[in-house]
């Protein structure tokens, strides 16, 4: 029964009783990141949540590419790719280097590669 004395409708994804475990709640609260760090995490997941940006990152997992290469791969304009790369750079997911007249983009570090691998493995399960 609920506190109001009414029966709750059983649901397959919620508890049948209202019983809080204070130790579990405290442990979870202690493990939560600070608000600023959580905001950064959310922005990273937002960046990963766009199909075009996710495709760019996945392509860069195979090695460096320039904007022209990525535009050809995605069948979109260089301007569209540049815009997406700016967003990815802002989240420190990609880096770039000048190679003569070319700008080559790559994944920023191993963490990004690991995020992509884990997401792909999870999607395949």
CA distances (Å), 65 to each of 31, 38, 43, 93, 121, in order? Answer: 38, 31, 24, 14, 24
Residue range 22-44: mean pLDDT, rounded = 95
Residue range 116-121: mean pLDDT, rounded = 96
If you classify domain 33-124 with CATH, what class do you get?
mainly alpha
Instruction: Report pLDDT for 1.
Output: 46
Instruction: Report pLDDT for 44.
Output: 95
Angstrom distance (rounded) from CA 19 to CA 26:
15
Q: Is the overall model pTM greater than 0.85, yes or no?
A: no
Residue that is written with structure tokens 């700008």 in the block: 103
Of 19 and 23, more confident = 23
Nearest to 115 by CA among 91, 82, 79: 91
Instruction: Report pLDDT for 18.
Output: 86
How do the domains of the chain map onto residue ranges?
33-124
User: Three-class SS of residue 85?
Assistant: helix
Q: How confident is the model at residue 25 (pLDDT cuts 50, 70, 90)?
A: very high
């Amino acid at each position: 029964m609920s506190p109001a004395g009414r029966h709750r409708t059983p649901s397959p994804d919620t508890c049948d009783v209202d019983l809080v475990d204070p130790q579990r709640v405290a442990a979870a609260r202690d493990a939560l990141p600070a608000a600023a760090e959580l905001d950064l995490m959310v922005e990273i997941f937002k960046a990963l949540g766009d199909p075009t940006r996710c495709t760019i990152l996945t392509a860069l997992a195979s090695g460096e590419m320039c904007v022209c290469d990525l535009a050809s791969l995605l069948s979109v304009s260089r301007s569209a790719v540049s815009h997406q790369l700016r967003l990815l750079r802002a989240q420190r997911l990609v880096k770039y280097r000048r190679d003569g007249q070319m700008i080559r983009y790559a994944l920023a570090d191993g963490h990004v590669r690991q995020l992509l691998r884990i997401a792909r493995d999870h999607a395949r399960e």
